[in-house]
Chains A and B, each alone.
Chain A
Amino acid sequence: MIGLDVGSTAAKMVWIESGGLKFRITSTHNWKELVEGIDGDEIISTGYFRNSVPHRASLTELTAAIYGVRHYFPDAEVIVDIGGQDTKVIDVRNNNFIINDKCSAGTGAFLEFVANYFKIELNELGSMHAMAKRIPDINNTCGVFALSEMISQLVGGYSKEEVIAGMHYAFARRISYMIPQAHKVVLIGGTVKNEGMVAALMDVLNIDVLIPDEPQIINALGALKYYS
């Protein structure tokens, strides 16, 4: 049996082999490569495309996130799943959830805009953030207008690294409003691999957060766990 999470930007597959967890990640449009030779009856699917891929059973990424996170952190209170097109916050304590998907400012797509503007890879944002000496204020919560503000800060003399750090803080403030007070907050999703964004979020929330070793596969793992 495998867990398959086909999200808005990436497809992730998880399976258990010799008692250990194995996984593969590819871009969404290449999801078929992941399941080549695998019978649909062996697949538990989740993610945006959960019902478009062959599957034995499917579940939403919200439920998958709960089961996946419990594997690593059984006493997690709040899960923040920062995906390519939305951010989901699940309060495990009372089975409540909120999804932000009407605005790009709290999604991976927002940080993609930033990387594209600077003509750098998405995964370089974190290391550039670490080089910032000052953090400019970028207050606009609209992704498009935040980009205009970012350009103004560059004109005003801030370095590329500092402006990137400022954008991470703008992002963190945007999603912090969705996160209820809790001691055990777990971050998952591909965007969580950006250390700069995580540092900004911890600073804004003023708490330590928990992050699984491979935060991008948690929902695929959760799908597998849910039906195991």
Chain B
Amino acid sequence: MPVKKIGITALVPPELIFSCGVTPFDVNNVIPASRKYPGNKLCAWTAIWKDMLVKKEIEVDSLVVVAGGDCHNALVDGQKAAMSGIPTHFFFYPFDGDPEYLGSQLHRLSLFLGGIKSPEKFKEIGELKKQGQLLDKKRCSGKLSSSEAFRILISFSDLAGDLAGFSMIISDLQEKDIEVRNRVALIGVPPIFHDFHETAQSLDLQIVFDELPYEFIRHGGSNIQEIAVNYCGYTFARPLEFRIDFLKNELKRRRVDGVIHYTQFACHHMLEDEVLREKLDYPMLTIQGDLPGNTPQQVKLRLEAFREMLDRQ
């Protein structure tokens, strides 16, 4: 019997999904290269995965929608996907970081997924995440390009649905020797443009921090109780001040010169821009994307002007 494929819409502990004997599939990962233009939408990210799920262009056995403490549009688009007949579970992170609440959410999720069958997967994924953290360190010191690092780190949400294959992809990475100038942090949701990191790199901006992909590699644990405590630190689900404190430490640790805040059209994260600008004491460029595709010229102009601005600092 084939292993069931579980669609996930945001960070859902992959340790738990794999340990239940099913494989996760992050429905966001196909969007940047999809060239899809949804009709009725707010955020293109959720509108596209909803459309693709309903039209069976993404085929999953069931769906886990992160509807609380992260993306509010997903709550509605997830219900539309559910109405099309896909068995759907709604997962909620606690705003106040209560591990008991998250523990109960994780138990409910494990029941939806059929219960834990392979507890050793917790440890196996923990080891992979350690490798992910090493890669993250390497890109900070120029031993890995930011585009390669991003490609791998963003895939940690579902580990490409294949732990052994993913481990080989990591092992096959070749070390580089890149001069790291204009160190920038990319915060917010990941850009919907599939070549964003390559574009930034070509304009002499080296992304040394990808906020959301970093969340994919820094949480873990060896059982539900441990991951309940650990995943309570998922910053997107917590109050803005909690996230800002975390960002301040990361930006300092990575010695960034500037910050790029990517905002997605019609995403609630747009409202955070003014607060982040006020609280983070770095030159900040805010860019906005809407539909998937190549990085548009207007965004390239802003990136280039930002690089020139960093040069003048």
Interface residues of A (CB under 8 A from B): 59-60, 62-63, 86, 95-97, 99, 101
Contacts and interface: CB of A to CB of B under 8 A. Distances in A.
Interface of B: 283-284, 298, 301-302, 304-305, 308-309, 312-313
B312 A95 contact: yes
Contact of B301 (A60, A95, A96): A60
Contact of A60 (B283, B308, B313): B308
Closest 9 CB pairs of A and B: A62-B305, A60-B305, A63-B308, A95-B309, A60-B304, A101-B298, A60-B308, A60-B301, A95-B283
A60 B313 CA distance: 16
Given A60-B308, A62-B308, A63-B308, A99 B313 contact: no
Contacts of B301: 60, 62, 99
Contacts of A59: 308
Identify the interface centre among B283, B298, B305: most chain A CB within 10 Å of its CB.
B305
Nearest to B301: A60
Contacts of B302: 97, 99
Nearest to B297: A48
B301 to A, nearest CB: 6
Contacts of B298: 86, 99, 101
Contacts of A60: 301, 304-305, 308
B85 to A, nearest CB: 37
A68 to B, nearest CB: 14
A30 to B, nearest CB: 22
A101 B283 CA distance: 22
Nearest to B307: A60
A176 B283 CA distance: 23
A96 B312 CA distance: 12
A97 B283 contact: no
Nearest to B277: A96
Given A60-B304, A62-B309, A63-B305, 11 more contacts: A59-B308, A60-B305, A60-B308, A62-B301, A62-B305, A63-B308, A63-B312, A86-B298, A96-B284, A97-B305, A99-B302
A63 B312 CA distance: 9
Nearest to A97: B305
Identify the interface centre among B283, B284, B308, B313: most chain A CB within 10 Å of its CB.
B308
